[in-house]
Each structure stands twice: as structure tokens, then as C-alpha cells.
A and B are shown apart, each in its own frame.
Chain A
Amino acid sequence: MSDAVKPAVGRDHALGWGLKSVVALVGLLLAAPTVVVVPMSFSGADTFEFPPKNWSVRWYEAFFNSERWMFSLLTSVQIAFLVALTATVLGVGVAFGLDRARFKGRNAIRSLMMAPMIMPGIVVAVAIYGVFLRWQLNGTATGFVAAHTVLALPFVVTVVSTSLAGYDRTMDVAAATLGATALTTFFRVTVPLLAPGVLSGFVFAFVTSLDEVVIALFLQTPDIQTLPVQMYNSITLEIDPTIAAASSLMVAATTIVLLVPLLVRRKRSTS
């Protein structure tokens, strides 16, 4: 922590002690949940203690040997993958449309795409639950994918729009003057330039679905429960210590997945 607040040498306004300690405390607050979850999952005790007195991987064994936990993990990953795929395809279309086409109501479309972000999650959840009851989509993969895609779209649209905004279209002209057809230009110029943005969108969509609880709680049936729902139930119904392992795995998974676009970008800029 002290490293985070070390003032740069020769700065005019070095941070005073008061400000430094406030920053350290806020940093502690920000990191607290992550710092707690990981050690707890390696506890050797039957009940939770923090910090644990002895260490083991028994809760990870319990997680990977439990049919229920593994099934919910598999369900979550499958749904998240389909959501990421759908949201990316649809979102890239929207970003292109908004960037390249000129028509009335562009701002209305833009607001529509962002609306799921502002709408209180519980309102979306019960509203979707209501119509899904009639359409018999509760507890179906189609229902989950459709509902989560709605939530994931804003992220894809935002990220891809940002990289389209930074796209220099004289590149297309340059390719054309060098004799490339429209198709070649698209695949050799446009796609490689936009790939990092699209990949970020995909990843954001994946994580959004993987982590979503509120809608999943309402759409769940005994046959189809996502991992976060299983975690929720294991806190509210029975405190099953396996949840500590599940939590750490979720933290690790989201971190790794979100780091992928950064690493890809870095590799590109160095090579």
C-alpha cells in the first residue's frame, strides 16, 4: 500500500501524511473482499475462519467432485459463451451501423442500446420473468441467453464504437488505391484493426453473463442453475464452505478472461 502513495521525487505537492493514510485506508476497503476470499478458500477447517489456522485444498476437491457445483459451472460457461457470441455479432452490427450510416433517430437507437445499463436490474428481471412465464422460456437455455444478451449488448456496442471512432478511414482509401477490392480491404485492413476492440467486447459480454445473478435467480429451475445462483443458494439456504472455492475460482476466471484483451494488445504493439 505504501508503494501506491509514494510521491514522485521532486514533485511540488507531495502528499501529506493525512492524505496518505486516507488513501491507504480507501485502498484497503477496495481490496478487502478479494484479499479475504482467496485465503479462505484454502482453509483446512470445517467452518470458516479468517485468517485460516491450517491450509488445505479440500474445498477445491469438494467443488470439483460435486456434481451440483460442476453442473452449474458447466451451465454458466455454456450460457456465457453463447451470450458472448450473440452479443458480439449483434453489437458489432450496431456499432458499424451507428458509425457508417446516417439516418434520423440515431440518438434514439443509441439510447435504446444503453438503456439496459441504467434500468434497475430487479425491474428487468421481474419484467422478463413475467413474459417468459407466458412464453415458457423460464429455465431454458434460450431464455437465459436472450436475457443475458440484452444486458451484455451495451458493453459490446460501447467498446466496438470506441475503436471504430479511432479508425482512420483513409486506410480504406489507401488499400483501394493500391488495388485492393472492397472485400480484401475489409478482411486485410478493417478486421485486423478492429479485432482488439471486438475481442474486448466479447470478453465483457462473457463476464457479464458469467457473473449475472438477479435475472438468473428468477429464471432458475432445479434443472438449470448458473454458478452464481448456486452460490447465492449456498449462502442463503445452507452455508456450504465449498462456496469459498467457487468464489476464488470466479475471481481468478474473471481476472484471467479480462486480462486477455490487454495481453493481446500489448503483444501487437511490441511485435
Chain B
Amino acid sequence: MTTATIKAPPGVSPARGAGRARRRAAGWLILPAAALLLVFFVYPIATIVWQSFTDPAPGLGNYVALLHDGISVTVIVRTLVTALIVAGSTLIVAYPYAYAMTKVGPRARGVMTVLVLLPFWTSLMARNFAWYMLERRDGLIDRMLGLIGLDGVVLLGTVAGVTVAMVQVMLPFMVLPLYSAMKQIDPRLLDAATSLGAPRRRAFAKVYLPLSVPGMLSGFSLVFIMTLGFYITPALLGSPQQSLVPQVIGQKVSALLDFGGAGALGAVLLMITLLVLFVVSRFTRPFTALSGTVGNE
């Protein structure tokens, strides 16, 4: 890094001869991937959004139906509430963990990092199967809680059961941004606050907590957005009476081939996602915080 002293002045293309033509030529390397994404990603998404306005009849019929079918609004609200609960619980669980990561020695931090990345590594279906077995009647959780006198706690088929599984898999997305924000906080600030007479707890609340807000914001928004799109976990661990937006989208398509209705719900989901991303991007950049930590692995 210290040898990187040769810098071209602005406006002059760096050092070597082939120069501009080659720089333009390199741009063509993007073309195949861009074409693939246009055909197999942009076009399908555009089509289903288009269908939400045209299928079966042109107009806003599908969106009006969402308001009046007596179920969609409930499902959307339930999905938003679930995402809030999951993001909130993940934050509460992740905060002390990330804080501890900044305090321990390098070896313990290594172990904690591997642990927090475990959900990334564990196959999605294996993970959900494990929760299915843990949460069902006579599963490990039921029996363990039975030992301390709480009988008949069956998480399978409940919102709580879905939440636990979601929190587990979302933890990396909260811990990593939190950790990268916290490790930049100078611990001497806390010492300064206490030396000025603030009790430790107060110093933490007034100094440390506000400084960790950017990390909390990135983590919270990431988890919130990703939770909105969960399909497999609620389908396997939740109940059909408590279905979330993704399940309803899936049902509309697989059972009824109602692409218009599914498109309308999908568009709502997308709008919420983009809105959250937009609002949060005014304060912080959630995805850069993540790629800074994960990308190097």
C-alpha cells in the first residue's frame, strides 16, 4: 500500500499507452450479464407489475380488490407487524452480542464471528427442518420448558415459532453492521463521561448508545426488508390462518394462476421495500455496512 505513490493527475488517463480505447472496450464485458438480467429478471418483474394493472381488466381493479377482499389488508398489516417484531427482537438479541465482540480478545472474537456466520452456512432447508423438529409437540423446546413447569408450549404453527426461526437467521445481518459501528466508538469517551461524574449506566445511554445508532439503523432496516420476503419459514413453521404476504402471493399464483392479483401484492411489497431503503439511505447506507464486513470473507 505504501508504494502506491504514482498517481496520474486528474483528467489524464493513467500511465500506459493503450488507454482510452481499451477502457471503453472493457465496458463490453458487462454486456452478457446485463443481457441475462434484462431477460430473466427485469423483464419478468416488469411483466408481473404490468399484469397487476391489466390482468384481467385494465385499470386499478387488482389494487382496489386488495382493499376490499377483506383479507389482504389484514395480511399486509400482519406482515409489517411481524417484520417489526423480528427486526426489534433481533436488535435486542444482537446488541449485547456485538458489544461483547468489541470487548473480548482476538481469539474469542474469532469464535464469536464464526458462530454468528453459522446461519449463513447452514442450508436453508436443513435449518427450517431443525426448527420444525425443535418446535413441534414433544420437541426439544416443549420438553425443556416442561421440565421447568411450563407445559404444552408448542411453537410450531404460531407467529412466535416463526419469529424465533427468523431471528436466528437474521442475526448476522444485525450483528455485523452493529459491530462495525461499535468498533469505531472510542472507549475513552465513556471514561471521559464517567470521570465527569456520570454514572456508568448513564454514560452508556448518553454517549455509547447514540454513537451506535448508525449500526442499529442499518441492521434494523436490512432485517426488516428481508423479513418481509420470507416464504419458506412461515410456510413450514407458521399456520395457514396466520399467513404472510409472500405466502398469499404464492397461493394466488400456484392455486389460481392469478398473476394480476399476485402482481399487485408483490408491487405493494416492493414499494414498502423501496420506501424503507429510500428513507434509510438518507441517514446511512445499509448495504455498504454489510458488504464491508461480509465481502472480505
Using CB atoms and an 8 Å cutoff, list the residues of chain A in contact with chain B: 3-8, 11-15, 19-20, 22-23, 26-27, 29-34, 36-37, 40, 48, 50, 89-91, 93-94, 96-103, 109, 112-116, 118-131, 146-147, 149-150, 153, 157-159, 162, 168-170, 172-173, 176, 182, 210-211, 213-214, 218, 228, 231-232, 235-236, 243-244, 246-248, 250-251, 253-255, 258
Contacts and interface: CB of A to CB of B under 8 A. Distances in A.
A233 B23 CA distance: 50
B89 to A, nearest CB: 11
Given A213-B125, A232-B232, 14 more contacts: A7-B104, A26-B94, A30-B168, A48-B133, A94-B33, A101-B24, A112-B34, A112-B37, A115-B37, A131-B47, A170-B6, A243-B129, A251-B123, A254-B123
A3 B30 contact: no
Contact of A37 (B16, B108, B130): B130
B119 interface: yes
B167 interface: yes
Contact of B37 (A12, A113, A244): A113
Contacts of B155: none
B253 A4 contact: no
Nearest to B49: A127
Given A130-B48, A162-B295, A4 B115 contact: yes
B4 A170 contact: yes
Contacts of B126: 33, 37, 231, 246-248, 250-251
Given A120-B228, A236-B236, A251-B122, A126 B48 contact: yes
A126 B295 contact: no
Interface in B95-118: 96-97, 99-100, 103-108, 111-112, 115-116, 118
A13 B187 contact: yes
A91 B33 CA distance: 7
B214 interface: no
Contacts of B266: 120, 122-123, 126-127
B81 interface: no
A153 B225 CA distance: 20
B29 A123 contact: no
A40 B129 CA distance: 11
> Which residue, B125, B232, B273, has most C-beta atoms of chain A within 10 A?
B125
B171 A247 contact: no
A188 B97 CA distance: 45
B273 A118 contact: yes
Nearest to B5: A170
Contacts of B99: 19
Interface stretch (B38-46, B58-66, B68-76): B38-46
B277 interface: yes
B139 interface: yes
Interface of B: 3-4, 6, 14-16, 18, 22-34, 36-37, 39-45, 47-48, 51, 93-94, 96-97, 99-100, 103-108, 111-112, 115-116, 118-119, 121-134, 139-140, 164, 167-168, 171, 187, 225, 228-229, 231-232, 235-236, 246, 249-250, 253-254, 259, 262, 266, 269-270, 273, 277, 287, 291, 295-296
Contacts of A23: 96-97, 100, 112
A50 B133 contact: yes
Contact of A173 (B15, B121, B124, B249): B15
B7 to A, nearest CB: 11
Contacts of A4: 108, 111-112, 115
Contacts of A236: 235-236
A65 B197 CA distance: 71
